[in-house]
Structure 1
């Protein structure tokens, strides 16, 4: 069973500028991190892959990341923590090749548009999810384990995360996968009052909506609620919404997708929506009200993805 959103990934060209924007939006972000590897055995490590930081919530996060290529170290924020990876010499070429392939995918996504390109979901049992997907004919790369930094009340710690990603050839909107152990994030206080990641909005062409709905039924293991040009998959603690460009304009007036298909928006729950609105306006951030009563910062002012602020509902 898919219970929540693990994280969304916002891919940007200038990480420092994006962090400044997120600070104005009222998010607390730790210094970014970036891996490093030597280009060959015996040489000093160089930054590569992706540099990222996170807006942490108790069970989810928003990731800000940028591609790190040749010479990119000078363009990273000054407080970036460059972390050399320990890889045996005999495995270094293959490992570096794998990182470069992932970097190429991110670079291609960024060339397509600056905005949200990643959606990771939280299952209650990732091994069972992997088996269900395989039985449904959904190709993926299997379950892997990695280490990631998590912000907690006691500071930053490293936590293992188990994850799998779908085969990208069948997922034109970006990277979609599943992960467990988002970390608690309970000690992170965001000035805007954000406490959870509650919705991801995928915009698809009207003629592609039926096929996208069938795909996400398989990804999420459940049917969607249908409402005009909107398809909503209700999870235990969040939603995944599929919508057409016309439906997006109704949902978030004035919004247009950066491409089709594309993750056009995501939503966070805040403790006090009125207070979040005052913070945004005081920071001179454009903010609009949706027909549903949410507030949102348009994609044009938020580096390619509309960011929705929603009043927290007690469960």
Structure 2
């Protein structure tokens, strides 16, 4: 079987306050729509109130950046006023199951935030998700099988419903939970439907056109083990580039960096924990114009050793955001 993984599907930035996060992403130059959040009445006859988890995306043609936050009772103040509440509409016997699933998602977000605010989700794109599941099983990688969810497609899409098929990789070792590895939530998603994705907001003031890299920082003694793990996950070999190990995808890459070298790869950066997703990179049309926008919006800008501008993690809610010239 040939390589089935083609690119990074999305990264998930888990934040404490969605209003603050959207404001940051707008200053970074991304066009971010109002978040969605499930809602249900707290008592019979009352208006639906947000609960569980809220999220939104900064979208590109083949990938996106996700912002997600937990929502607790009475926590409406952390959500923007224009948050789109999505009432739970299901047969009465199904509602408790939906509430339980949403509650698990919220609890998972809370546990990630207890660790640190930042990127905790990395999903890869696959044009053949069923074959991907078979390949992972054959390679001895534990996962929860393929899940299917459906949601309303955005206005202007060619279909009324968007179907999402995905799988999550299970952790290894004693006490490892389903659907999560040490560094966060990791898995594979079927390629985005171009008709559906094209109906979303794709024109960003910073000129960003794609998500092209994720950086995972690991403890130095664990680097070889993590490299082998990701080579197995992705079915591709890693190459060494300075202190980092890079797994090339089609138009994207995963960069594995030992903790001792993070400040070399991203000057001034320190990992919040190990292992951790510490940065992602987007391709932009004109890095000079992007740099100017960042400065105008009052954000600090550093340079990678290759001259790419990036906003450090301490100014970007826990993750460094790198801007790279589009090829």
**TM-score, length of structure 2 as denominator length:** 0.90
| Residues 1:61 and 2:75 are matched in the alignment | no
Number of residue pairs matched by the alignment: 313
Q: Among residues 170, 182, 186, which one is paired with 1:176 in the alignment?
A: 186
SS at match of 2:183: coil
Cα pair distance change 1:225/1:126, threshold 3 Å: same
Rounded Cα–Cα distance in structure 2 between residues aligned with 1:172 and 1:305: 17
What does 1:143-158 align with in structure 2 at a 5 Å threshold? 143-148=146-151, 158=161
Given that 1:11 and 1:117 are in contact with CA atoms closer than 8 Å, whether structure 2 keeps it comes out as yes
1:223 alignment counterpart: 237
Q: CA deviation at 1:227?
A: 3.1
Q: CA deviation at 1:139?
A: 1.3
Q: CA deviation at 1:55?
A: 0.5
2:28 alignment counterpart: 25
Cα pair distance change 1:233/1:41, threshold 3 Å: farther
Q: CA deviation at 1:39?
A: 6.2
1:114 alignment counterpart: 117
Q: Among residues 281, 301, 306, which one is paired with 1:287 in the alignment?
A: 301
Q: CA deviation at 1:153?
A: 7.2
Rounded Cα–Cα distance in structure 1 between residues aligned with 2:66 and 2:158: 18
Deviations 1:113-134 (A, max 9, x none): 0000000100121001111111
Rounded Cα–Cα distance in structure 2 between residues aligned with 1:107 and 1:62: 19
2:312 alignment counterpart: 298
Given that 1:151 and 1:188 are in contact with CA atoms closer than 8 Å, whether structure 2 keeps it comes out as no
Cα pair distance change 1:41/1:234, threshold 3 Å: farther
Q: CA RMSD in A?
A: 2.2
Given that 1:40 and 1:92 are in contact with CA atoms closer than 8 Å, whether structure 2 keeps it comes out as no
Cα pair distance change 1:287/1:142, threshold 3 Å: same
Q: CA deviation at 1:189?
A: 0.9
